[in-house]
Structure 1
Amino acid sequence: EVVRIINEPTAASLAYGLDKSGEHKVMVFDLGGGTLDVTILEFGEGIFEVKSTSGDTQLGGTDMDAAIIDWIVEEFKKQEGIDLKKDTMATQRVREAAEKAKIELSNVLSTDINLPYITVDQAGSGPKHLSLNMTRAKLESLIAPIVQRCVHPMEQAMKDAKMKKDDIKKIILVGGPTRMPVIQKFVEDFIGADKVAKGVDPMECVATGASIQGGVLAGDVKDLLLLDVTPLTLGIETLGSVATPLITRNSTIPTKKSQMFSTAADSQTAVTIHVIQGERPMANDNTSLGMFNLVGIPPAPRGVPQIEVTFDIDANGILNVTAKDHGTGKEQKITISATTKLSKDQIDKMVKEAEKFSDEDKKKKEEVEARNTADSLVYTTEKTLADLKDKITPEQKEKIEPALKALKDAVSGKDTEKIKQESENLSKAIQEIGASIYQQPGAQAGAGAGPAPGFDGGADSASESTEEGASEHRKHKKKGKGGKEDAIDAEYKVEDEKK
């Protein structure tokens, strides 16, 4: 019976920290056969909190074995003129010998590699024997490039945790390769010799930590709380396939986040919530976790309905997503248990892809958001002209209509900068009209006829998702033509803009 799943670095930290007093910021350096995982945790008074995780899924002891194998094969080729890699059985024997030599050189300065009858000379001179001596210095020179690759994951983990080397009080070594003197020296040089924990067995601390967590769940261990983190960002798809995050990567779980959204079309009676996971700014480039519909929304102008979307993720990584219409009280929900089922390889691949395509994604997102803003501005302007037609002078109308047409023409094209410029021009024009309307007698009554000119109509939401104090527009849609059908429009406004 599986009661709780915890990752290896967290388990190692449990084994290390149980009998420690005071507060600690610890880095767990977990170098295994095929992967490197670097985790930073903060713990004290029985509470363990994962601050960040990073790693390399193509870095480990097998890479070191491969470097030794290449050296053995090359040396034998120099001696006998035979390439052992062409012989499958010989290659397997060399691989086993390479791993054995690597382990032995953790305790001795040199070792002999002897493989009798490794192959047969095709010229008929009989069987060949492999006999080489390998020193620890030679091993360290062969794997130096591999060891150097450990730097980036360690730096990335500290960056994600917003910490510096001086903030790390201890570093725990986990995994067989960390028994190698060259790895221990590398870690000591990087983080400080006095910070490396010596009392934890790299091969046993994970199992020990898992046992401790089992004791917590069984009630045998008291006053210990384990807080893990989300491996990837969780959010929803918004208008134009933009990914709107609700719970960001490396957020401590359990956690709960809510955000207010609204409709993107007049008389819209249903919305589709598409839950996604990943670091890319465009929803289509992320992993789809599921979707559901919220129906029965009373017909109203776009932006008026208030729909609260809540993400609630528990300690086991199970995500509950709820969408509630505040007008009717109707709600729908979905439970997703696969948020932590991605392998370490998949998670790291998604993070690296986000970094690789960051410039391209940023450009694409800017284009979509520019179009979203322009579309909202066109809607607001047309509604303002209709609602306040008695208060707008012919001169003002002649000034705003060309700007409105210019923006519509720009949206039909592909020039993002043109869309931004025309949006700014129209925004200025309609704000001038709004200012003049408020100066007219009876402006108070007129203002109540519709949204204030220059601002989008919509949910006067209490969302906390303001970005640098700026008004931000995000819209959620079901994938459809033009992004108009089955969409919800998230609108965030700062208080100063509402006054």
Structure 2
Amino acid sequence: ADAKLKTSDIDAVLLVGGMTRMPAIQEAVKKFFGKEPTKGVNPDEVVALGAAIQAGVLGGDVKDILLLDVTPLTLGVETLGGVATPMIDRNTTIPISKSQVYSTAADNQTQVQIHVVQGERPMAKDNKSLGQFILDGIPPAPRGIPQIEVTFDIDANGILNVSAKDKATNREQKITITASSGLSDSEVDRMMEEAEKHASEDAARKEAVEVKNQADGAVFTTEKFLKDYGEQLPSDAVSSAQAKIDELKAVMEGDDIAAIKAATEALNEHLQQLGAQMYQNVDGAAPGPEADAAGAASGGTDEAADDEDVIDAEFTES
């Protein structure tokens, strides 16, 4: 299912284990795949033969066979609100290395905790914890400014190295998670079953966290705008913006997701109006088409920020 293949795309089917000698099993395989299973390999020996071939490949003795192992479950980090943010998806071919830039969740935050999890559920606490470490020594700065590059690197032996580096100071911390820290086949199957069983409720919990994160971001952006440009705006406009901030903060204390969404959208729309009003105050008119075209050509700040691989306010403050 993960490979998006049809049964007709399968070139050959190998039978594994003595039980597959039963005619009923072989007939069921033939009916499902539409072809005879391969009988050129002894099903009692196939696992041992595969292990021997892999040992030969890893040792450099076998060079004409390419073996591709995959990650059994998704690997990720815990981010703001307890969300499990994927770094390497399940069934990704190894070796593999992926990096993602994150930022801080609070002003003047000087350290972040990197919590590595494994599993398919959207909330970190419902997955298997593989390890955690702290990157400290981050220079104090407003939230969202520091850039913390997190890298997941899995070698051919399945050993996972996770590092976090502050791009401003090059200060780095890392952790190594060996293959023995992984899961057995039965545990993988159980976690997949649980993910499917709780899919709808997990999606609702994740949405609730993300909606509140977006609301918190809207409050932060608007408060910063008022702090920086409030003196250039009419007092009634500032008061109106503050009222909408207070309204959003109030609904954020509850669990009414629809109300939080509505209040967040209202605050964002009001912030856009304040920005437009500032430009109108410059010369009494809004920017013309030429200005819009220039802004599009230069890739305005907001669009550039959206395109960056930086996720603001993700790590919880330690």
Could you say whether these structures have the same fold, taking a TM-score greater than 0.5 normalized by the shorter chain as the test? yes
State the distance in 2 between where 1:474 and 1:247 align.
Answer: 21
**Quick check: 1:356 aligned with 2:197?**
yes
Q: CA deviation at 1:221?
A: 1.9
Aligned residue among 112, 117, 128 for 1:276:
117
Show CA shifts across 1:369-428 (max 9, x none): 111111111111111111011222234224322221110110112211111111011111
Preserved contact between residue 317 and residue 340 of structure 1 (Cα < 8 Å): no
Aligned residue among 97, 120, 124 for 1:256:
97
Aligned residue among 399, 408, 423 for 2:264:
423
1:130-279 to structure 2, matched below 5 A, reads 159-194=1-36, 196-279=37-120
From the superposition, tell whether residues 242 and 217 of structure 1 become closer, same or farther in structure 2 (CA, over 3 Å).
Answer: closer
From the superposition, tell whether residues 390 and 368 of structure 1 become closer, same or farther in structure 2 (CA, over 3 Å).
Answer: same
From the superposition, tell whether residues 218 and 242 of structure 1 become closer, same or farther in structure 2 (CA, over 3 Å).
Answer: closer
Aligned counterpart, 1:373: 214
From the superposition, tell whether residues 215 and 413 of structure 1 become closer, same or farther in structure 2 (CA, over 3 Å).
Answer: closer
Letter of the 1:239 counterpart? L
5+ long unaligned stretches in structure 2: 288-300
Letter of the 1:416 counterpart? I
Show CA shifts across 1:258-292 (max 9, x none): 00101111111111111111111001111111111
Preserved contact between residue 260 and residue 309 of structure 1 (Cα < 8 Å): yes
- Aligned residue for 1:222, secondary structure, equals coil
Preserved contact between residue 289 and residue 339 of structure 1 (Cα < 8 Å): no
From the superposition, tell whether residues 430 and 257 of structure 1 become closer, same or farther in structure 2 (CA, over 3 Å).
Answer: same
Show CA shifts across 1:211-242 (max 9, x none): 22233334332232211000111111111111
State the distance in 2 between where 1:397 and 1:390 align.
Answer: 9
Letter of the 1:200 counterpart? V
Higher relative contact order by CA 8 Å / sep ≥ 6: 1 or 2? 2
State the distance in 1 between where 2:312 and 2:205 align.
Answer: 16
Q: CA deviation at 1:435?
A: 2.2
Q: CA deviation at 1:200?
A: 1.7
From the superposition, tell whether residues 187 and 200 of structure 1 become closer, same or farther in structure 2 (CA, over 3 Å).
Answer: same
Letter of the 2:66 counterpart? L
Preserved contact between residue 157 and residue 179 of structure 2 (Cα < 8 Å): no
State the distance in 2 between where 1:340 and 1:294 align.
Answer: 22
Preserved contact between residue 94 and residue 158 of structure 2 (Cα < 8 Å): yes
What count of residue pairs does the alignment treat as equivalent?
303
Aligned counterpart, 2:297: none
State the distance in 2 between where 1:187 and 1:231 align.
Answer: 24
Aligned residue among 175, 187, 196 for 1:334:
175
Of the two, which has the highest radius of gyration? 1
Aligned counterpart, 1:320: 161
Letter of the 2:234 counterpart? T
Aligned counterpart, 2:314: 475
Larger relative helix fraction = 2
Letter of the 2:137 counterpart? G
Preserved contact between residue 105 and residue 313 of structure 2 (Cα < 8 Å): no
From the superposition, tell whether residues 218 and 397 of structure 1 become closer, same or farther in structure 2 (CA, over 3 Å).
Answer: closer
From the superposition, tell whether residues 356 and 378 of structure 1 become closer, same or farther in structure 2 (CA, over 3 Å).
Answer: same
TM-score calculated relative to the size of structure 1: 0.58
**Quick check: 1:389 aligned with 2:230?**
yes
State the distance in 1 between where 2:59 and 2:245 align.
Answer: 67
Aligned counterpart, 2:298: none
1:12-23 to structure 2, matched below 5 A, reads none
Preserved contact between residue 117 and residue 127 of structure 2 (Cα < 8 Å): yes
State the distance in 1 between where 2:206 and 2:155 align.
Answer: 31
State the distance in 2 between where 1:217 and 1:349 align.
Answer: 30
